[in-house]
Structure formats: C-alpha cells, structure tokens
C-alpha cells in the first residue's frame, strides 16, 4: 500500500519526535483519518524523504517519530522552466498540477496582450500562493521530494527585459540549453531536433487562449527563442503546454 506523503518545510532528522504543522496535521488526522501507529512519509523540499510513524494525535497537535532517512530522488535530469501565459483559473490550476507531475522545475506565470485573465497586486500574489499550494499537493501525490517554485507573476515585457541577455547566452552559447516558443505557424517540430542529445535545461514559452500578438512574437524571437509547432492541429493552451513537456521528457529527459 502506498504511504501518505506530507510536505513539512521544517528541519527533519532521524530519531526526532516532531510536531506536524497544523495544516498537515489536519489533513492527516481529519481528512485521511490516519491513526496512532500509522506509517507516513515526510519530505521538506531539501532532497530525500523520511519514513515516520504517528506517535500521538490529540487536540493540541499531531506528533510523529522520524524512523529513517531515505536517499530517494525523483527529479528529471532535464531542468524545465515553463513560462505560461495565465489562463482561466481551472485551466491554469491543471497546467500547474500536471506540469509538476511531468517534471517541470519551475513555473513562471506571465500576462500577455491577449490574456483573458488580468491579475495585479494582491490578487496576483494570492493566485501565486494558490498555485504554489497546488505544486506542493502535486509533489505529495507524485513522489517528488523537491518542490518547484511558482515565480511572481510578470507581464511579458517585464519578463523579456530580465531574459534578454540570459536567453541570448543560453540559446546561442551552448547546445545544452534550448529555448522554445510554441507557435502553430512555426516550421519546425520536435522531430527536427533528434541530434540534440545533450540537453540539460530548456525554457518553454506558451501563450494564452488567443495566442501571442504579432509584436510579442517578434520580441520573443528577437532574443533567440526557437519557434516550435506540435503537429498540424491547433492545441488549447493547457493541452499544448503539457504535450510539449511530455514530448521533451521523452526526447531528452527520463521517459
């Protein structure tokens, strides 16, 4: 039987008796109905995981005894940054969740000219915190012991300002890093890159439901991104992002 896994962003060591954070304790005791003596798995995002046994459940808290540290990693060898134009809440939640399951290393949400969802200020910060919680839940489910970061929401121009020099170096300075922009009108697909065998990192830029505006396409291509299509069919933004990540994992990752 698969053990319940919990993210605990605290110092954990073998032999410790620790109190679970309140939200984790609630999930373990009230939602999953775990009991004293049940075995669970903990991870704190620093790598590896810990087997633990629930020692006590009470109104004042849930205590667990850490039994063993396990040197287990489930990270892809491919470092993937997914730059995703924000879309409708359920679609964006889906992209974040499944992206983590597929091995994405970090997620950069952006707002473009044609984005249907406009976020700023506290609303933007709240959504980023929401997406980060989805990341944590996905890690608990899929077995990852390192937690990908959801970066602060940026406009496409602001993101490009920060990427201009970096992306030029990445895309033209070494074959081990690739930077792709999904475009239905692109001439090349992933089948055109079979000889790129030593990719260690890539950045994938995915537009909103209405696609990128022409001036946005030009600005991204100007800093060295490679336009890429995914077959002859036009995919929805939430389909395109996940299909591309899965295909790239098959080519250069751990599939």
Domains and CATH numbers, the chain: 5-70 (2.40.240.20), 79-252 (3.40.1280.10)
The predicted pLDDT at position 89 comes to: 77
Residues 93-123 have pLDDT tens digits of: 999 999 999 999 999 999 998 888 788 788 8
Characterise 37 by phi-psi region: left (phi > 0), alpha (psi -120 to 50), beta (else). left
The pLDDT of residue 244 is above 90: yes
The pLDDT of residue 189 is above 90: yes
Structure tokens at 22: 């309140």
Distance CA 21, CA 154 (A): 31
Residues 198-214 have pLDDT tens digits of: 788 999 999 998 899 99
């Amino acid at each position: 039987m698969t053990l319940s896994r919990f993210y605990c962003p605290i110092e954990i060591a073998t032999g410790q008796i620790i109190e679970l954070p309140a939200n984790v304790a609630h999930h373990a005791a009230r939602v999953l109905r775990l009991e004293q003596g049940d075995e669970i798995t903990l991870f704190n995002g620093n790598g590896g995981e810990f087997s633990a046994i629930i020692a006590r459940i009470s109104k004042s808290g849930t205590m667990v005894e850490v039994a063993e540290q396990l040197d287990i990693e489930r990270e892809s060898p491919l470092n993937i940054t997914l730059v995703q134009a924000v879309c409708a809440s359920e679609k964006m939640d889906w992209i974040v969740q499944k992206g983590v399951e597929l091995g994405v290393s970090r997620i950069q949400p952006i707002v473009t000219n044609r984005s249907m969802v406009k976020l700023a200020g506290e609303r933007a910060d709240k959504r980023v915190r929401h997406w980060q919680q989805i990341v944590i839940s996905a890690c608990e489910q899929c077995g990852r012991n390192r937690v990908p970061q959801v970066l602060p929401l940026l406009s496409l121009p602001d993101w490009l300002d920060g990427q201009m020099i970096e992306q030029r170096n990445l895309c033209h300075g070494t074959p081990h890093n690739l930077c792709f922009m999904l475009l239905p009108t692109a001439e090349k697909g992933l089948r055109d890159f079979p000889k790129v065998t030593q990719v260690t990192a890539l950045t994938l830029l995915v537009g909103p439901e209405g696609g990128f505006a022409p001036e946005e396409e030009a600005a991204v291509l100007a800093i060295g991104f490679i336009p890429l299509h995914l077959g002859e069919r036009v995919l929805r933004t939430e389909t395109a992002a996940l299909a591309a990540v899965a295909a790239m994992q098959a080519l250069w990752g751990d599939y």
